[in-house]
Structure 1
Amino acid sequence: MAVDLNHTIVPSRNKRASAEFLAEILGLKAGPQWGPFVPVETANGVTLDYMDAEEFRALHFCFIVSEPEFDEIFGRIRERGLAYYADPGHREAGEINHLYGGRGVYFDDPDGHNMEVITAPYA
């Protein structure tokens, strides 16, 4: 039996703004509102369904992309003047990592969710 992730709910203070922020950085589109959600669909069909919430803990999301896509995404991060890091604890500011033969970067979304973009899966 194959098990695939279909969607996850991302709590947010402003679902539309947060969905559009992530979609813009990743070069995707935020979809039309569906029920209480604003979805952002990735290439493998998984949706991040943004939903308004008053209280929540910050979450972590990791996206794997090609080398050219990384260049485009990293360019958008820098163009927006976003703080970025080589590590999930945000100790290596202004750096990217080169783990497992690829490149990776961390940045926060408007709600404090820790977003990661990598070009090579971790072993």
Structure 2
Amino acid sequence: MPAAFNHTIIASKDAAASADFYRELLEAEQAPSWGPFTNLKLADGVLLQFAAPPVEIQMQHYAFLLDDELFDRAYARLRERGIDHWADPQMRRAGETNTEHGGRGVYLLDPAGHGLELITRPYL
């Protein structure tokens, strides 16, 4: 079997709040949670696990490939909720999306301060 991405742990001081943010934004499924983890499952079966870290949180970058319809719904939610977002990772083009790589994209921060990127076309 070739390697496939299975899960990642996303550090968060409030795992439930972060999981709710991702669940609503990405329309992800609730998944059974255990121990310190609050879990979500993406459509491809990848598990996102949210947990409070034992050390100070360092910013990470997570990019999600969405179809055009989900991107439209997610972007509408960002705007409705007044969530800051940018067309670029340097956070210079506030309130915009980009049309890089033949699709659309947007950058934002999650409740724990991690950088999220939503794109409609893969880079490769």
TM exceeding 0.5 = yes
The Cα shift of 1:29 comes to 3.4
Q: Secondary structure at 1:8's aligned position in 2? A: strand
Quote the Cα distance in structure 2 between the aligned partners of 1:79 and 1:99: 24
Question: TM-score under structure 1 normalisation?
Answer: 0.94
Question: Is 1:58–1:112's contact at 8 Å kept on the other side of the alignment?
Answer: yes
Question: TM-score under structure 2 normalisation?
Answer: 0.93
**Identical aligned pairs, as a percentage?**
44
Amino acid aligned to 2:88: D
Question: Is 1:20–1:30's contact at 8 Å kept on the other side of the alignment?
Answer: no
Gaps of 5+ in 1: none
Gaps of 5+ in 2: none
Question: Is 2:29–2:42's contact at 8 Å kept on the other side of the alignment?
Answer: no
Aligned equivalent of 2:89: 88
Does residue 20 (structure 1) correspond to residue 11 (structure 2)? The answer is no
Which shows bigger deviation, 95-104 or 27-36?
27-36
Q: When the two structures are aligned, how many residues end up with a matched partner?
A: 123
Quote the Cα distance in structure 2 between the aligned partners of 1:41 and 1:9: 12
Question: Is 1:38–1:50's contact at 8 Å kept on the other side of the alignment?
Answer: yes
Aligned equivalent of 2:39: 39
Cα root mean square deviation, aligned: 1.2
Does residue 60 (structure 1) correspond to residue 61 (structure 2)? The answer is yes
Quote the Cα distance in structure 2 between the aligned partners of 1:120 and 1:105: 12
Q: Secondary structure at 2:59's aligned position in 1? A: coil
Q: Secondary structure at 2:50's aligned position in 1? A: strand
